[in-house]
Amino acid sequence: MDIVRCDQCKTPLDEPLQTPAGSRIPCPRCGSSSRLFEKALAGAITLRASLSSKAREPGRRKPFLEQVSGASYFSKAQRWVERLMRIDRRDNQYQEVVTDPETGTIIHKCGEPLSEHRGHGDARKKDV
């Protein structure tokens, strides 16, 4: 929405935006011909977040527990989903649940021994 106001007293004026400065009618309230033009804009922003954590033993490089929870972009479906992934090296467990945040439908669920979790993510065979 566009609004034209008097620049001196801020009175709204019924005047087209394109009116040349020399053709403006003086403000009925204060007599000024200087103008203030207002334009209203609107938009929307969607924020998404995820949290990851790693637990390590002192002196050891590889974490014994890794976890990721939150928003993740699912490139196959080209949309955002909720993902919970947990790698527990002490108990040899891999768990992952991917859910559609709009419907609550489970898109993918995996729970298996970590030693059997092959061919996924970084473990996939690379195209040469």
Give the model's pLDDT for residue 118.
81
Give the model's pLDDT for residue 77.
85
**CA 11 to the chain's CA centroid:** 40
- Domain residue extents for the chain: 2-39, 50-123
Reported as a single tens digit per residue, the pLDDT across 5-60 is 999 999 999 999 899 989 999 999 999 999 999 998 999 999 999 999 999 999 99
Tokens 């059997």 -> residue: 116
Alpha-carbon gap, residue 67 to 93, rounded angstroms: 12
Reported as a single tens digit per residue, the pLDDT across 76-91 is 889 999 999 999 999 9
Reported as a single tens digit per residue, the pLDDT across 96-125 is 999 999 999 999 999 999 999 887 666 666
* Pair of tokens at residue 7: 């620049």
- SS3 annotation, 45-107: CCCCCEEEEEECCCCCCCCCEEEEEEEEEECCCCEEEEEEEEEECCCCEEEEEEECCCCCCEE
**CA 87 to the chain's CA centroid:** 26
Give the model's pLDDT for residue 5.
95
Alpha-carbon gap, residue 95 to 110, rounded angstroms: 6
Q: Does residue 127 have a pLDDT over 70?
A: no
Nearest to 71 by CA among 98, 92, 94: 98
Distances (CA, A) of 24 to 18, 30, 53: 10, 14, 64
